[in-house]
Amino acid sequence: METAQEKKTGVYLCGGCGIAEAVPLDKLDAVTVKEFKVPHCRRHEFLCGEDGVRAIRDDIAAGTVNQVVIAACSPRVNADRFRFDGAQVIRANLREQVAWTQPPGAEDTAMAAADYLRMAITEARKSKPPVPYEEGPYSERILVVGGGVSGLTAARETARAGYDVLLVEQSDRLGGHARRWSKRMPQRPPYQAPQGNDIDRLIALVEADRRIEVRRNCRVVKTAGGPGKFTVTLRQGEADQEVKVGAVVLATGWSPYDPNKLGHLGYGASPDVVTSVALEEMLGAGPLKRKSDGRPARNIAFVQCAGSRDPKHLPYCSSVCCGVSIKQALQIRETDPDSSVYILYEELRTPGVAEEFYRAAQRAGVIFIKGAVKGVGADLTVTVDDALLRQEVPLAGLDLVVLATGMVPNAAGTLGGAEQQAPLPADDIDPLSPIPVAGYAGAAPQPAASRPAAQSSASGVPLLNLQYRQGPHLPVLTDGFADSHFICFPYETRRTGIYTCGPVRRPMDMAESAEDATGAALKAIQAIHNVAAGRALHPRSGDLSFPRIGLSTCTKCRRCTVECPFGAIDETSDGFPVVNSTRCRRCGVCMGACPVRTISFDNYSVEMLTAMIKAVEVPDEDAEKPRVLALACQNDAYPALDMAGIARLPINPFVRVIPVRCLGSVSMLCISEALSSGYDGIVLMGCKSGDDYQCHFVKGSAMAQERLAKIGETLKSMALEKERVQNLEVSIADAHKLPKMLDDYLAVIDKIGLSPLKGFG
């Protein structure tokens, strides 16, 4: 799709911040005007200052230029200064990655600067200002799924911000688990006593809010579309109804861990072994009585970590159980001062102000015993392997044993309800399995053997039943919690426009859930606004480009559909991929996956990258100056390179860095083109992949690693050593490691010798 306007490129060279001292601007002038025949080339000693910016603006206003190449500082800075209506801006990084890391005035420094300018002008040639995808109308209504504390708070906060909310709750009452709690953890100083449960107040507020439509006995049956235009089918009783919403907040909460699995702790052997959830209901019903014979319960022991932090049950800590037991213990001590209450723990987790709560319980006479519970007898004798006394001590004479069980998220399957849907297509993605790479030879990595299956499994009706080609499930993280890129982006999931909050994403208590819900509400509001303007959501916030698929050359291999980390691509009835732009995060993994390179963005394409790669002047063998291409991901590696520059660390002068959106967007063609152009080596620099991934697009760097692993064949066919192409894991904190990392790599190249393919390209 061509723009109607003729492209008038202007190049602006900034000499400030040490660039003029490091790099011969005359030479850059010559590159622009003589080599690339771009007539308009201006120099300025302080381009981001008032005068510099005005000069550019004046040129644009006069119609001299409508595309601006700025050779100055890193594209990561001064974006606000160099933003011009009516002109696309391309940046060349002469400061952080040339002037600040190379010896000033050296020949190699000049060569590097010239190459970066070449790449920028080439990029300008191959790039168009992105035309946003806007296909309204878009809904500004937000769907909140789940009517517990999290859902109620999300709805309320969204409404208070001025947006309409549809809140669906599958049971007949709002309030979720919180309705059953007799008391809450303290929320006010001095944080020493349990406080009243105010869930009714929240329910009343939501019900009275004009902006919130509440539907009880209502479930999500199907979710189609994407952010801004979700079409959700709701079922209430017998009737199905389709509603349109702009974003979804998933607040389906948690279920208590199944105590029937805790036979080793006495559950089931006696009715007086109960869970903390059950105890909560008992506490709300008056003085405690034994379930077996109705006598008063005065001697009570709490067993912490019941079925938690245990590889045979829940491997994780549910964070709230210690606080809950302390709360319940305090309640018991208050109503019955003659009670004996024991809390048996291995470690006690009372972070922050909860420490005050812990002390209050100690002062109130609750006995804390540090030890592992070895067993609970039918007569309720709890055998404690006391860690301090170093012997097993029987705790006898108890009336009640309370198992503090953990939280299981309601993220995958449904709560109850055995309704079946049509079977999933055979080649659908199972979100619980590791990422397979379709079409490549070799086995996909095996799932971690030690990870137990989430309790609510992927069988049964998927929670939102997404009508996405990649599958109906919301992908979950380890242990079954709804996936989010937790490092940088809480509330996010692997499905754009769908946000999670509360215990469905991580165990948390009521107060944390309320705060979490507020955050998710804000994200949902952000989503509907951005989507309406065709802008990408995180992490490429504001990006107007989106993938365009050239269907005429598409082979229907479906790699793009499978490899998209966000399931943004659906399929037409005859097998062609369809990009749902609002679901897309513009990472470009599809672009990197496509074997025929028919996917591109207006301002980012394989053609553009290969042209930039070829624009670099590769000296021939005699010059003995290697050239290494570094494809650096914009999220971690490129900033690290910039930070090395800010710290004035010397970086090897033979490296040419091209920022890429994600390593997953790198097509293997770029690698082979670089090799055939005479580059001596190629490094992919990007974020960590794997279980504790840091890739901002979840599996982009994993994709790149997979593809690179297969490139051995290509290299062999070109008679090249496999060391020439490497993947370097670089986190944003690794700036100080970069000089050595690159020097080591160049040393390897030195050892194997320069590329024999120089001069052939």
CB of 344 or CB of 482, closer to other proteins: 344
CB of 365 or CB of 595, closer to other proteins: 365
In the complex, the smallest distance separating the C-beta of residue 379 from other proteins, rounded to whole angstroms, is: 13
CB of 179 or CB of 359, closer to other proteins: 359
Are the C-beta atoms of residues 507 and 258 closer than 8 Å to each other? no
Per-residue binding letters, 380-409, with other proteins (x by CB under 8 A): ----x-x-xxxx-xxxxx------------
Secondary structure of residue 490 in the 3-state scheme: coil
Instruction: Please identify which residue in 126, 179, 370, 625 interacts with other proteins, judged by CB under 8 A.
Output: 370
| Region binding other proteins by CB under 8 A among candidate stretches 204-212, 367-375, 485-493, 587-595 | 367-375
235: phi then psi, degrees, rounded to nearest 5: -120, 125
User: Which residues in the 578-607 window bind other proteins by CB under 8 A?
Assistant: none
CB of 177 or CB of 333, closer to other proteins: 333
- E strands within 597-755? 599-600, 628-633, 655-660, 681-686, 725-729
Per-residue binding letters, 670-709, with other proteins (x by CB under 8 A): ----------------------------------------
In the complex, the smallest distance separating the C-beta of residue 396 from other proteins, rounded to whole angstroms, is: 5
Interaction between residue 420 and other proteins (CB under 8 A): no
Are the C-beta atoms of residues 404 and 325 closer than 8 Å to each other? yes
CA angle 25, 28, 33 (to 5 degrees): 125
Q: What is the DSSP letter of 476?
A: B
Per-residue binding letters, 302-341, with other proteins (x by CB under 8 A): --------------------------------------x-
| Region binding other proteins by CB under 8 A among candidate stretches 242-250, 363-371, 416-424, 584-592 | 363-371
In the complex, the smallest distance separating the C-beta of residue 363 from other proteins, rounded to whole angstroms, is: 6
CB of 191 or CB of 342, closer to other proteins: 342
Secondary structure of residue 591 in the 3-state scheme: helix
Residue 72 to residue 279: CA distance in whole angstroms? 66
Secondary structure of residue 498 in the 3-state scheme: strand
Cα-Cα-Cα-Cα dihedral of 534, 538, 539, 541, to 10°?
Answer: 40
Q: Tokens 């210690």 appear where?
A: 322
DSSP letters spanning 64-90: S-SEEEEEES-TTS-TTTT--TT-EEE
Compute how many residues bind other proteins; rule: CB under 8 A.
23
Amino acid (one-letter) located at 165: V
Closest by CA position to 186, among listed 365, 361, 402, 366: 361
In the complex, the smallest distance separating the C-beta of residue 353 from other proteins, rounded to whole angstroms, is: 16
Residue 165 to residue 245: CA distance in whole angstroms? 9
User: Which residues in the 493-552 window bind other proteins by CB under 8 A?
Assistant: none
Secondary structure of residue 41 in the 3-state scheme: strand
| Region binding other proteins by CB under 8 A among candidate stretches 235-243, 356-364, 505-513, 708-716 | 356-364
Closest by CA position to 761, among listed 592, 568, 616: 616
Closest by CA position to 402, among listed 305, 476, 470, 320: 305
Residue 368 to residue 630: CA distance in whole angstroms? 58
522 membership: H or E segment, kind and range: helix 510-532
**What tokens were used for 669?**
């063609």
In the complex, the smallest distance separating the C-beta of residue 747 from other proteins, rounded to whole angstroms, is: 47
CB of 102 or CB of 328, closer to other proteins: 328
CB of 70 or CB of 360, closer to other proteins: 360
In the complex, the smallest distance separating the C-beta of residue 201 from other proteins, rounded to whole angstroms, is: 35
Instruction: Please identify which residue in 191, 257, 357, 358 interacts with other proteins, judged by CB under 8 A.
Output: 358
Closest by CA position to 588, among listed 560, 608, 614, 562: 560
CB of 368 or CB of 576, closer to other proteins: 368
**What tokens were used for 483?**
């996936």
CB of 389 or CB of 448, closer to other proteins: 389
Interaction between residue 365 and other proteins (CB under 8 A): yes
- E strands within 229-363? 230-236, 239-245, 247-250, 254-256, 273-275, 299-306, 340-345
| Region binding other proteins by CB under 8 A among candidate stretches 365-373, 418-426, 527-535, 595-603 | 365-373
CB of 25 or CB of 369, closer to other proteins: 369
In the complex, the smallest distance separating the C-beta of residue 405 from other proteins, rounded to whole angstroms, is: 23
Are the C-beta atoms of residues 94 and 23 closer than 8 Å to each other? yes
Instruction: Please identify which residue in 160, 201, 363, 722 interacts with other proteins, judged by CB under 8 A.
Output: 363
CB of 220 or CB of 384, closer to other proteins: 384
* Cα separations in angstroms, 275 against 256, 462, 752: 9, 28, 66
Closest by CA position to 14, among listed 83, 135, 163, 117: 117
Residue 444 to residue 436: CA distance in whole angstroms? 5
In the complex, the smallest distance separating the C-beta of residue 393 from other proteins, rounded to whole angstroms, is: 5
In the complex, the smallest distance separating the C-beta of residue 207 from other proteins, rounded to whole angstroms, is: 44
Q: How far apart are the first and last CA of the chain?
A: 29
Closest by CA position to 274, among listed 325, 237, 311: 325
Interaction between residue 362 and other proteins (CB under 8 A): yes
Interaction between residue 367 and other proteins (CB under 8 A): yes
CB of 332 or CB of 564, closer to other proteins: 332
User: Which residues in the 203-262 window bind other proteins by CB under 8 A?
Assistant: none
In the complex, the smallest distance separating the C-beta of residue 384 from other proteins, rounded to whole angstroms, is: 8
Q: Encode 396-432: b = buried (16+ Cβ within 10 Å), e = exposed.
A: eebbbbbbbbbbbbbbbbbeeeeeeeeeeeeeebebb
CB of 348 or CB of 611, closer to other proteins: 348
In the complex, the smallest distance separating the C-beta of residue 507 from other proteins, rounded to whole angstroms, is: 23
Interaction between residue 349 and other proteins (CB under 8 A): no
CB of 140 or CB of 385, closer to other proteins: 385
In the complex, the smallest distance separating the C-beta of residue 302 from other proteins, rounded to whole angstroms, is: 14
Q: Tokens 């599809």 appear where?
A: 590
In the complex, the smallest distance separating the C-beta of residue 340 from other proteins, rounded to whole angstroms, is: 6
Q: Tokens 């579309």 appear where?
A: 225
In the complex, the smallest distance separating the C-beta of residue 385 from other proteins, rounded to whole angstroms, is: 12
233: phi then psi, degrees, rounded to nearest 5: -95, 125
In the complex, the smallest distance separating the C-beta of residue 365 from other proteins, rounded to whole angstroms, is: 6
* Cα separations in angstroms, 740 against 80, 724, 744: 34, 17, 6
Instruction: Please identify which residue in 368, 486, 576, 693 interacts with other proteins, judged by CB under 8 A.
Output: 368
In the complex, the smallest distance separating the C-beta of residue 368 from other proteins, rounded to whole angstroms, is: 7
CB of 233 or CB of 381, closer to other proteins: 381
CB of 82 or CB of 345, closer to other proteins: 345
**What tokens were used for 91?**
């940046």
Per-residue binding letters, 639-658, with other proteins (x by CB under 8 A): --------------------
In the complex, the smallest distance separating the C-beta of residue 73 from other proteins, rounded to whole angstroms, is: 51
**What tokens were used for 71?**
């050779």
Question: What is the binding site for other proteins (CB under 8 A)?
Answer: 340, 342, 348, 358-359, 362-363, 365, 367-370, 384, 386, 388-391, 393-397
